[in-house]
Amino acid sequence: MATVTFENATRIYPGNDTPSVDKLNLEIADGEFLVLVGPSGCGKSTSLRMLAGLEDVNSGRILIGDRDVTDVQPKNRDIAMVFQNYALYPHMSVRDNMGFALKIAGVPKEEINKRVEEAAAILDLTQYLDRKPKALSGGQRQRVAMGRAIVRKPQVFLMDEPLSNLDAKLRVQTRTQIAALQRELGVTTVYVTHDQTEALTMGDRIAVLKDGILQQCDSPRVMYDRPANEFVAGFIGSPAMNMGTFEVHEDGTATLGKAKVRVSEAARAAMVPEDGGKMVIGFRPEALEVVEASEDAIPVKLTLVEELGSDSFMYGHLVGGGSLGSGTDANPDDSASDLIIIRTAPRTAPPIGETVYVRIKEGGQHNFSKSTGMRLPD
C-alpha cells in the first residue's frame, strides 16, 4: 500500500489558456478512501487521469509513496483503475476477464487461478466465473471490473464514476459493497463522482473541486457541518442548503424581504467594505423549525409538499420578496433553486398555498462573505 501526493499538479489542455486542474495540492494517506467530487468540468476526472498517467502533468508532480511517478508510464505505476463502462472483454469468461492482466504480466497460471478465486469469493462472483459478461447484470459486471482490479494487488485503486451506469437501487447497494470492500482490503483508493451523496456515504475524506481548483478537503462530517465557502455549502447536502443575500444592520440583524435573522458580532466584524453591507446566509432544510408567527420568524408561502414516509419536505417562496433558494450558483441546474426547502415530520405540513413561519435552530446558521464567498465566524 502507499500514500498519494499531488504537489502543485497542473494540467492545461492544448489550445486552452485556463488550466483544467490548477496547482492541486493533496495528500492521501495510506489505506485512505478519498472521494473527488464536483460538478461537470471541475477537473476531478482529469486529476484521476493524471494520477493514472493517462494525462500529462504540465507543472508540479505526483508521488505514489516516496516515488515520483509524474513521468512514469501508466503500466509501471502499480495502480488499478475501475472505469464507468466496465471495459470487459465480451468474448472472455468472467474468470478470464479477471485474470487477463496477470496473464499478460506472466504470472503463473496456478497463482492467477488462486487470486481470481479469492477475489470472486470476496465479491460473491464464484458461481458466475464461467459466464460471459453479456449473461450478467449491470451490478455483476461492475463487480467483475472490481475483481479485475483486486487480483492485481495494486498500491492504489482508481475509480472513475463506477456506479453511474447502474439504476438507483443497485447504485445504493453497490456503493455500500465498494466501501466495505475497500475497508477490508485497506488499499488506498481515489474515487471520482459527481454525486455528493456517494461522497458523503463512502469517503474517509472528500475533496471538492470547482473550475480546477480545490475548494475544501475534509471529512464528510466537517464538510457538511462547516463548509469552507459558499460553493461547498451549496454543493454538499441533499436537498441543498437554503442560501440568500441578506442586508446586515447595525442592531445585529440581517433582513431579506420579511425574513429577519440574528448575526453574531464576530461575523459582522469580519465583513469588509467590498461586501457592501451584505452577507450570504445559509441554513439547511433540517435546521429550520416551524414556529408561531412572530417578527423574528421567516414567513414562507408553500408551493409544494413532498411526503417521503419518514420525512416531509415543504417548498415555498419567501414572503415579502427577496430571493432565498437552495444552493445558489453551486447547483445552477437544480429545478428547486429558487425555493426555500423545509424538512419536517411526516404528514404535518399544512395545505399548499398557506404561509408557514420558520426559525433557524441553534447552530444551524452559516455565514459567508458576499464579496469572497468564504466562511465567516458563526
Report d(CA 97, CA 244) in Å as an integer: 52
Q: Which three cell numbers stand for residue 360?
A: 433557524
The model's pTM is: 0.88
Please list the pLDDT of the chain residue by residue as tens digits (378 residues).
699 999 999 999 999 999 999 999 999 999 999 999 999 999 999 999 999 999 999 999 999 999 999 999 998 999 999 888 888 999 999 999 999 989 998 999 999 999 999 999 988 899 999 999 999 988 889 889 989 999 988 999 999 988 887 888 888 888 888 898 899 889 999 999 988 889 999 999 999 999 999 999 999 999 999 999 999 999 999 888 999 999 999 999 999 988 899 999 999 999 999 999 999 999 999 999 999 988 888 999 999 999 998 889 999 998 877 667 655 444 434 434 578 999 999 988 899 999 999 999 999 999 999 999 999 998
Element holding 248 (H helix, E strand): strand 242-248
pLDDT value of position 338 = 74
Beta bridge partners of 157: 80, 189
pLDDT value of position 257 = 85
In this structure, which CATH number among 3.40.50.2300, 3.40.225.10, 3.40.50.300, 3.40.50.12500 belongs to the domain 4-232? Answer: 3.40.50.300
Q: Are 320 and 299 in contact (CB under 8 A)?
A: yes
pLDDT value of position 98 = 94
How do the domains of the chain map onto residue ranges? Answer: 4-232, 240-369
Report d(CA 35, CA 192) in Å as an integer: 6
CATH topology of domain 240-369: OB fold (Dihydrolipoamide Acetyltransferase, E2P) (2.40.50)
Q: Are 367 and 375 in contact (CB under 8 A)?
A: yes
| DSSP per-residue string spanning 25-36 | EEEE-TT-EEEE
pLDDT value of position 323 = 67
DSSP code, position 239:
S
Report d(CA 236, CA 31) in Å as an integer: 24
pLDDT value of position 201 = 92
Give the SS3 label for residue 41: coil
pLDDT value of position 206 = 97
Burial (Cβ within 10 Å: 0-12, 13-18, ≥19) of residue 1: middle
3-state secondary structure 341-377: EEEECCCCCCCCCCEEEEEECCCCCEEEECCCCEECC
